[in-house]
Structures are given as C-alpha cells and as structure tokens.
Amino acid sequence: MFELLTEKFSGVIEKLKKAKKLDEKTVNEALRDIRRALLEADVNIEVVQQFLKDIKEKLVGQEVIKGLDAGETVIKLIYDELLKILGEESSLEKSEKPPTVIMLVGLQGTGKTTTAGKIAKWLKSKGYQVGVASTDVRRPAAGRQLCTLAESINIPCFIDENEKDAIKLTEKLIKEAQDSGLSYLILDTAGRLHIDEELMDELVEIKEKVNPTEILYVADAMQGQDAINTAKVYHDKVGLTGVILTKLDGDAKGGIALSVRKVLGVPIKFIGVGEKIEDFEPFYPDRIAQRILGLGDIQSLIEKMEKAIDEDKAQEMAKRVMNAEFTLEDLREQLRMIRNLGPLEKVLKMIPGIGSKIKDLKVDEKQLIKIEAIINSMTPEERQNPHIINGSRKRRIARGSGTTIMDVNKVLKQYKEMKKLMKKMKKSGKMKFPMNLPKLPF
C-alpha cells in the first residue's frame, strides 16, 4: 500500500536530509521531485498544484524549525501538507433514532458488498447490534453474497428476492430492521458498470425513504482518477458523507487517497486492504502520511522537535535558578516548576556543576511534594530568613507539614548547600551555560 509514493518520496527525503542549506536549488529540486512523484501516483493535478503552492509559500521566510536542520524542516513541512490534503480523521456518525443506516453506493465490482460485511464486522467487534440489507433487485446473487457474509459473522441479513421494486423492497427491509432492534443497518445497493440515470434516480429515492446517516461511496483505489470522477457524479446526485477506499492492498498507486478530500470535500472513513472480511481499517491520515514519508523518519523528527522544546524549558528554568536571590520561597517556586517540567535531573544537568554535586536533590515526585509542604508550613519571615528557624520553630513546621524534624533539617541543609554552591559559582565567574544562552550577568 502506497509503495510507489513511499519509494518516490524516500528519494526526496534522502536528498533533503543531506542538504545542509535551504538554498533555492535544493528546494526547487525537491519540489520538482515531489511533483513528479505525486503525478506518477495518480494524484489529481489540481491537488498537486495546490500542494506545491502551499509548500512554496510556507518555505518563503520559513526559519529552520527548532531542533531540526534545514532539510528536516522541509520534510516536516511536507509532512504537515500531506496531513492537510489527507484530511482529518473521521468516524461514523450515529443517528439519534436507531438503527443508524449506512448506505453504500458505487459502481459494480468496487467492493460494496464485501465492504458491507467488513463494516458490519468492525461495528460488531465494538459491541453493536448490526444487520445488513440489500436493495439490489436486479441481481439476486448480490443479496445471497451479502447474506453469506452476514452468516459468517453471525448477524442478521435482510433480503427479499421476490420483491422486484427497489423502493418497495427498501421500505420493507427497513421496517424489518427497525423491528429487530439493531443499532446499525448497512445498506448495500445495486451498482452498474457505468453511471446511468435510472440507477441514480433509484438511489435518490432510496435515500429519501431511509434517510441514511451516512452515504459512503465505495471507491476502487486501483481505478485512480476515474474513481474520483465517478464519485463526483454520485456526490452531485445523491450527496455523499464520506468515501471508503478499497483494494489498497493491490497495485493501487495510492494517489486517490491524496485526492478525495480536496476534490470531493468529504472525508475518507475507512480503507479496505484485502479480500478477507477483517482486511479493513479506519482511515488514519497521520499513519498514511508517515507511511508515505517513512515512518521512522517522521517519528524521529517529531522527537527532535519535542526535545528542543524541552531543552528550551529546562534552560529557562536553569536561568531562573541562577538568577534568583534564592530564598526558600524561590526554592518552593522552583520545585513547583520542576514538578511541572518532569525529570529533575534534566533541569539540573543544565546547570553545570550542580547536577553532580547536589545528589540529594535527585528526589522522586513524593519527596518534592514533601519539601513543598515543609516550606508551606513556614512563615514568610522564616522563608526569607531561614537562620531564625530554631528548634521550636522546626517542631511547629514538622507538625504543620506532617513530617519530622529530621525532614525539616534535611530540607534546610539542602537549601543551604544549593545557596552556597550558587554563591561560589557566581564568584568564580566561570559559569557559562552550554549552547547558545545569552551571557548571564555574572
């Protein structure tokens, strides 16, 4: 699935990863390669043009994203744009009055009947009562195929081979389904080899009769742009709420997945990835985009960005520790921040010399809370001038914070050590932050 796109994009990605600068030549070459890749994969031409235009616009004035280098920044932009054209994740709507009717439409052979069974099985696995029905009055075999599938997953199947009027049949089956207390009914409809007026009118009438919550167009991904064009006609006549792409397991070039959202304006809800009833999954745009661009590559980019953000926070924190007058109030404030920030060691490592020296500060969450409680039990005066904390004050603080005098002593000792160390570093003037922090005023 998406092998062609994956292969083509991997070339682009490799080149970008090697690029150290975002010069015009590199960017233009990447855009040209992307254009070729998308067109070869049978992505709609207008979608391709829009995609390239959006990336170009973003690149102008784009600064390198924190934590990433130039090439990686472009890769991230491409990923974001891919996500955009794939559309957001979209699940099935549910009607207030059961059963929720999901009507499947599309040409013959695209996989409607198979997909009806697949959705039913998927919904059943979620614990819903599901049934299927066929409104195809022309091909009795179609109904039987559906019921065989239904039998295999043990759900009710509504058909009537004697009723030759599609609308009457629909009314009858819907009534039966309603009476049997189902949560969902999947309505398989007749397809033709080509679009024809009569079938469209029939579908519109069925729609009016059953008022389906979802009308999903089942598109054979192997048919590429043809499938999109047909879907357009269905959308104009019947009105679609979404698309299901089938046969993505085969040689499908995958371009259709990137075209549906922009061209039709409706989401892709599921994909079929094989002939078996379980070869079916919800459409997850991020997974698809990652598959196309190389899963590992994108994940490591995102990790790098997150790390850069964490490092920013940690440096900011370190700066505050160093600049603070450093009373016990400051310590308390910083403990709070540290707790919000996550791993304490990380913050301490940003302050050269501290991480290794104040081992006792490598405490767990519970201990941080304890220290905070102890400081909370002090009076503001005690926090500003800890030297006034004598034996009786310590006893009061311990009682107030539900700790022991030993605990209070420990906190005071840690605090003194930190303060001493900071003074020493300030005096030596050797303190310099790693990397590109502005020079500190000492």
**170 is a contact residue toward ligand GDP (CB under 6 A):** no
Please give the size of the binding site for Mg ion, defined by CB under 5 A: 3
User: Tokens 């991904």 label which residue?
Assistant: 221
Q: Is residue 135 close enough to count as binding Mg ion by CB under 5 A?
A: no
Query: Which own/partner contact pairs does 17-22 have at CB distance under 8 Å and 24+ positions apart?
Result: 17/71, 17/72, 17/75, 17/297, 18/71, 19/70, 19/71, 19/74, 20/69, 20/70, 20/71, 21/70, 22/59, 22/62, 22/64, 22/70, 22/71, 22/73, 22/74
Interface mask (CB under 6 A) for ligand GDP, residues 209-248, using x and -?
-------------------------------------xx-
Pairing of strands 268-272, 184-188: unpaired
User: Considering CB distances under 5 to 8 angstroms, the limit depending on partner class, which of Mg ion, ligand GDP, none binds residue 114?
Assistant: ligand GDP
CA-to-CA dists, residue 196 to 106, 164, 202, 214, angstroms: 11, 19, 10, 22
Minimum distance of Mg ion from residue 186's CB (angstroms): 12
- Distance, in Å, from the CA atom of 148 to the CA atom of 249, rounded to the nearest integer, reads 23
Among positions 67, 87, 111, 267, the unique one binding ligand GDP when judged by CB under 6 A: 111
Residue 273's binding partner among ligand GDP, Mg ion, none (Cβ under 5 to 8 angstroms by kind) is ligand GDP
Q: Which residue has the tokens 């029939």?
A: 202
Part of the chain binding ligand GDP (CB under 6 A), chosen from 17-25, 104-112, 306-314, 339-347: 104-112
Total residues contacting ligand GDP by CB under 6 A comes to 18
Question: Quick one: 87 or 117, whose CB is closer to ligand GDP?
Answer: 117
Tell me how long the chain is.
442
Pinpoint the alpha helices (H) of 19-105. Answer: 24-40, 45-59, 70-86
Give the residues across from 131 on adjacent strands: 185
**Which of residues 274, 282, 294, 353 is near ligand GDP by CB under 6 A?**
274
Q: Does 113 bind ligand GDP (CB under 6 A)?
A: yes
Please say which residue, 112 or 262, places its beta carbon nearer to Mg ion.
112
Applying the rule CB under 5 A, the residues between 94 and 133 that interact with Mg ion are: 112-113
| Binding to ligand GDP in span 277-306, by CB under 6 A | 279
CA–CA distance, 91 with 279 (Å, rounded to integer)? 18
Residue 438, number of CB atoms within 10 A of its CB: 7
Max CA pair span of the chain = 98
Q: Which of 273, 298, 375, 411 binds ligand GDP (CB under 6 A)?
A: 273
Angstrom distance (rounded) from CA 339 to CA 163? 70
Binds ligand GDP (CB under 6 A): choice among 191, 224, 255, 267: 191
Q: For residues 268 and 219, is the Cβ–Cβ distance under 8 A?
A: no
Interface with ligand GDP in residues 249-268 (CB under 6 A): 249-250
Interface characters, 138-157, with Mg ion (x: CB under 5 A): ----x---------------
Task: Name the site residues for Mg ion (rule: CB under 5 A).
Answer: 112-113, 142
Task: Name the site residues for ligand GDP (rule: CB under 6 A).
Answer: 106, 108-114, 191, 246-247, 249-250, 272-275, 279
